[in-house]
Amino acid sequence: MTTLDLEHLVQPDKVHKSVYTDERLFELEMEHIFEKAWVYCGHESQVKNVGDYWTVQIGRQPMVMVRDKDQVVQVLYNRCPHRGVQLCGNQSGNTGQAFVCSYHAWSFHLNGKVRAIPLMKGYDGTALKTSDPDSSMVPAARVKSYRGFVFASLSSTGPDLLEFLGDAKVAFDDMCDRSPMGEVEAVPVMHRVVQKSNWKFFMENQLDALHPSVTHQSTGVAARRVEQRLKSDNGSAPLFFHYLSTFASSFDQWDSVQTVNFPHGHGILKAYMGLRPTDPDTVEYEGILKKAYGEEKGEEYLGRSIHHVLIYPYLSVQSPLQQLRCLRPISASETQSEIWHFRLKGVPEAIYQRSLWYFNLVNSPATMINADDLENWTKAQIGLQSNGGEWVSLHRNYGQDTEKEGVLYSNNGTSEVVMRNQFIAWKAYMLSAQSPNPV
């Protein structure tokens, strides 16, 4: 691909449909974005004990996250160096003191180093040496955790994790700071959905404030009706009705929120869902947090104005409700998403129940919210694969956002600056393939 092609495909206010449909571009995305950037593997609590492992896809590469005997979380290619067989066939489990290949029983320490090979004398006088890295499992080039969230990069060059995350690291701070112990734990029940659409639709949709009052109208309006009836009958309605009724906010209400768009394609949708009611559970919880951190810090942590944080190109974190969704692209027209939620350590059970309600009512594949989004993205993929047009419009509020020190602030919540900013990052990653300096 030439620079000229990319300049043509991605323009400041429109993009060519092929960026969503072309398999050759998809392969380049895997190579130059997903297999270079820091990719989220999982949370340390998914591998609590020595030998616990969790398999994970980074770009096109099958990897395994494992806790080694020194308690270090390793991320290794899930491949036996003998004849290439996958070592862990299950999603997760405990492999004991070693990985043992199911084919010829080569075994490996939990840090990937070869441990034993059957009938070793068969290699006497050959070029195979156990001291040679080719005899061991290959580790990811870089692995790092931030507040318990494990990332790996398959490239030895590029920004370090904190530089990559930049201000978007608030996703993890906001999640963890809401625990008096400063920690969360992954709830191991995770939903997986295969979306029949390009991964970019999901990322764009997360901060698309124009769509909720259209796409989610039927659910939002129905929930609002019940919420209002309960309020008039009983004086109050459970908080979870609010999770759904918010989607029925008007265009003007959505237009009044703000998106903050960072370098590397990350971003935040500000606005708060009113998670500070004055019921006894919330009062107790807020008291616990302020006791742990003091009045001022506690208030700062409880009052952060965040709805979603996006970490481009694969993560959407709803930190106030301890939700996280992660993309594992399969092809230009198929994307697997993982939907997780977390428990705040040291808080009353009722606060966890809020998170669980949101997980089940909004993010689960069984809810109308998620189903309505999925239907749109599927239809978008079908439409873009047609010959009915060449371009995707990103013109909304173009030229009307405020730029300060590399950050783009929307002046209208529904500005398509979100998508424009993601494509600035996309183009930079893809162009980096043609330059010696990675993004």
Residues that bind ligand FES (CB under 6 A): 80, 82-83, 85, 101, 103-104, 106
323 DSSP β-pair partners: 318, 341
Distances (CA, A) of 189 to 135, 175, 405: 35, 18, 40
Question: From ligand FES, Fe ion, none, which one binds at residue 373 (CB under 5 to 8 Å depending on kind)?
Answer: Fe ion
Nearest distance from C-beta of residue 118 to ligand FES, angstroms: 8
Residues binding Fe ion (CB under 5 A): 373
Question: From Fe ion, ligand FES, none, which one binds at residue 327 (CB under 5 to 8 Å depending on kind)?
Answer: none
- Concatenating the DSSP letter of every residue in 263-321 gives GGG-EEE---------SHHHHHHHHHHHHHH-HHHHHHHHT---SEEEETTTEEEEGGG
Select 80 or 439, whichever has its Cβ closest to ligand FES. 80
Nearest distance from C-beta of residue 101 to ligand FES, angstroms: 3
Select 95 or 367, whichever has its Cβ closest to Fe ion. 367
Select 80 or 315, whichever has its Cβ closest to ligand FES. 80
Question: From Fe ion, ligand FES, none, which one binds at residue 379 (CB under 5 to 8 Å depending on kind)?
Answer: none
Nearest distance from C-beta of residue 271 to Fe ion, angstroms: 14
What is d(CA 237, CA 235) in angstroms, rounded to the nearest whole number? 7
Nearest distance from C-beta of residue 121 to ligand FES, angstroms: 16
What's the CA dihedral at 276, 280, 281, 287 to 10 degrees? 70
Distances (CA, A) of 437 to 157, 159, 426, 430, 431: 9, 11, 15, 12, 10
* CB 225 within 8 Å of CB 408: no
Nearest distance from C-beta of residue 84 to ligand FES, angstroms: 6
The continuous run of DSSP H or E covering 205 comes out as: helix 199-206
Pair of tokens at residue 290: 């302020």
Question: From ligand FES, Fe ion, none, which one binds at residue 174 (CB under 5 to 8 Å depending on kind)?
Answer: none
> What angle (nearest 5°) sits at the alpha carbon of residue 304, between those of residues 301 and 305?
165
Question: From Fe ion, ligand FES, none, which one binds at residue 83 (CB under 5 to 8 Å depending on kind)?
Answer: ligand FES
Select 261 or 316, whichever has its Cβ closest to Fe ion. 316
Nearest distance from C-beta of residue 135 to ligand FES, angstroms: 11
* CB 67 within 8 Å of CB 51: yes
What is d(CA 252, CA 163) in angstroms, rounded to the nearest whole number? 35
Question: From Fe ion, ligand FES, none, which one binds at residue 242 (CB under 5 to 8 Å depending on kind)?
Answer: none
Select 106 or 247, whichever has its Cβ closest to ligand FES. 106
Select 85 or 292, whichever has its Cβ closest to ligand FES. 85
